[in-house]
Amino acid sequence: MSEAEALALHGGRPVRERMLPYGRPEVTEADIQAVVEVLRGDWLTNGPAVPRFEQAFAEVVGARFAVAFSSGTAALHGAAAAAGIGPGDEVITSPLTFLASANCILSCGGRPVFADVDRETLNLDPAAAEAALTPRTKAILPIHFAGLPCDTEAIHAVARSRNLTLIEDAAHALGAEIGGRRIGSLSHLTTFSFHPVKHITTGEGGMVTVNEPALAERLRRFRNHGIDREVRQRQATWRQDMVTFGFNYRLSDIHSALGLSQLRRLDARLKRREEIAGRYHEAFAAMPGVSVAPTRPGTRHAWHIYPLRLNLDELRQDRETIFQALRAENIGVSVHYLPVHLHPFYQERLGTVPGQCPAAEAAFERLLTLPLFPGMTDADVADVVAAVNKVIRWARR
Ligand SMILES: Cc1ncc(COP(=O)(O)O)c(C=O)c1O
C-alpha cells in the first residue's frame, strides 16, 4: 500500500488537515445586523419580531399559522399537548429518530408505540403503523428522516380511518415537498427545529405550523403558561388568566429576528444541499460496499443529512471501525440514530426490547452520516468522496 493510501487510522496521512464537521451553521452579516437592531430596541421578547417571523415562516411552508417555540423539543411538546394527548393515550411513532420525537409523548403522559420503518426509505412504514393501532391510539407522529418526505398519503389514510391526529416531526424537512406542496401544510400539526445544524437556525428555536385556528390558539397558550392573552394584547390591563396548563416556551425577539433573516436564504441553501447530495450520489451509486441515501419519486428531499448505508455483507469491517477510520481522515461523520426503543431509559421504563423493530435496527447498524451543509466547498465535498473511497476500498479487502 502506498503512503497516500495508508489509512490515517494506521498512521498514514489523513485526506485533509482539519476536521470537516457534519454540519455547520451559516450566519451572515445581515443576520447579525437583524439581531443588533432588536438589541437596540425596546422588545427583547414578546415583541413584533416574533409574529413577523411566524408569518413569514407560515408563508414559506404554505400553512395558515405558525407558532414559534423556544426549541424543536418545546414545539413537539406543544404539538402533543395541542393534540390533546394525555395519560392512557398511545401515539404511534418511528424508532429511527431523535429522542425528542418520542419524549414529547411521554411529556404529556402518553405512551409512544414504535412501529417499524420501511427498509428502503427509513421512514415510518404505513403498514406497520396500521398494525400498531389499538383502541387507545390517539395520534400518529412520523418524522421525515434525513429530510426525505415520509409517505404522508398512506399515513393520512391510516389516521383518517380512526379519526387520529397527525403530528409530523419535520425537524429534518424544512423545504421538503410532496407533489409540489411543502411539508408543514399537510397535517394537523407539523413541528420544526432551528438548532444550528438545521436548514435555518435561531441558535435554539422551533416552530409548529397548523391550518386550524383553534390549534394555533392552544399552541400560543401552551407556550405562555396557559395564559389567555399574550403580553402585547394585555397592554391596557394588568389582568392575566391562566386557563390551561402551560410553560414558558416562548421564542425571544432576538431569536426571531435571526430566524427571519435566515429564512431569506432558505432556497439558496436548499439548492446547495441538493447539489452536494447529487455529488455524493454520483460518487457512490456504483461503489461496491455502500448504498446511496434513499430518495422518493414525486417528492423534494430537504437533505438535512446524507445517510450513507454500508453494505455490511460486502465489507470485512463493521460500521464502528469505518466510522473511526473516516474520523481519522478528518471527515466528521456521525450516526443518526440509535433507535429510540434501544435507549436504556425506554427499555427500563417502557419495556421496549431489541428485535421489536428489525428494519430500524438493521438500518442503524449500517448508517453513517456524511458531512452536508451549504457552506461546504467543492473541495470539501471532494475530500469526503476521497476519504470514503479510501476507507471503503480498505474495508472490502
Ligand atoms: C427529528 C428531530 N426531532 C426533534 C429535534 C429536537 O429539536 P431541538 O434540538 O430544536 O430541540 C431534533 C433535533 O435536534 C430532531 O432531529
Query: Any idea what DSSP says for residue 58?
Result: H
User: Hunting for cell 394527548 — which residue is that?
Assistant: 85
User: What does the pLDDT read at residue 2?
Assistant: 62
Q: HEC states along 297-330?
A: CCEECCCCCEEEEECHHHCCCCHHHHHHHHHHCC
**Residues 352 and 292 sit within 8 Å (Cβ to Cβ):** no
Read off the C-alpha cell for 374.
451549504
Q: Are the beta carbons of 180 and 214 closer than 8 angstroms?
A: no
Q: Is 73 in the pocket of ligand 1 (CB under 6 A)?
A: yes
Does ligand 1 come within 6 angstroms of the Cβ of 107? no
Written as one letter, the residue type at 146 is A
Which residues are catalytically annotated?
Answer: 198
Separation of CA 18 and ligand 1 centre (Å): 27
The verdict on the CB of residue 262 being under 6 Å from ligand 1 is: no
171 CB less than 6 Å from ligand 1? Answer: yes
Banded model confidence at residue 384, pLDDT cuts 50, 70, 90: very high
Question: CA 378: distance to chain centroid?
Answer: 25
Angle 159-163-167 from CA coordinates, rounded to 5°: 50
Locate the ligand 1 atom nearest the alpha carbon of residue 204 and give its number. Answer: 10
- Please work out whether the CB of residue 98 comes within 6 Å of at least one atom of ligand 1: yes
> Which of 71, 73, 76, 143 best tests ligand 1's pocket when mutated (most atoms within 8 Å of CB)?
73
User: Angle between the 319-328 and 378-396 helix axes, to the nearest 10 degrees?
Assistant: 140
Rounded to 5 degrees, what are φ and ψ at 256? Answer: -65, -40
- Asked if pLDDT for residue 91 goes beyond 90, the answer is yes
Report whether the peptide linkage leading into residue 280 is cis, meaning its omega lies within 30 degrees of zero: no
Average pLDDT over residues 306-324: 98
Quick: pLDDT tens for 172-215. Answer: 999 999 999 999 999 999 999 999 999 999 999 999 999 999 99
Q: What is the pLDDT of residues 152-164, one digit of tens each?
A: 999 999 999 999 9
Instruction: Indicate the burial class of 288 (C-beta count within 10 angstroms; 0-12, 13-18, 19 or more).
Output: exposed
Q: Indicate if the pLDDT at residue 3 is higher than 60.
A: no
**125-169: pLDDT as tens digits:** 999 999 999 999 999 999 999 999 999 999 999 999 999 999 999
Mean pLDDT (whole number) for 54-60: 98
pLDDT in tens, 97-124: 999 999 999 999 999 999 999 999 999 9
In percent, the amount of the chain with pLDDT more than 90 equals 95
User: How high is the pLDDT of residue 238?
Assistant: 84
Distance 171 CA to ligand 1 centre (A): 6
In short, whether 71's Cβ falls inside 6 Å of ligand 1 is yes
Please state the rounded mean pLDDT for residues 372-397.
Answer: 97
Q: Give the ligand 1 atom nearest the CA of 205.
A: 10
Q: Whose CA is nearest to atom 10 of ligand 1?
A: 72
Going by their DSSP bridges, the two strands 189-193 and 290-291 should be labelled as: unpaired
Report the residue among 141, 193, 303 best suited for mutation to probe ligand 1: largest number of ligand atoms under 8 A from its CB.
193
Predicted local confidence at residue 228, as pLDDT: 85
pLDDT digits (tens, 9 = 90+) for 229-271: 776 666 778 888 999 999 999 999 999 999 999 999 999 999 9
Phi, psi values for residue 78, rounded to 5°: -60, -40
Give this prediction's pTM. Answer: 0.97
pLDDT of 94: 98
Q: What number is the average pLDDT over the span 274-278?
A: 98
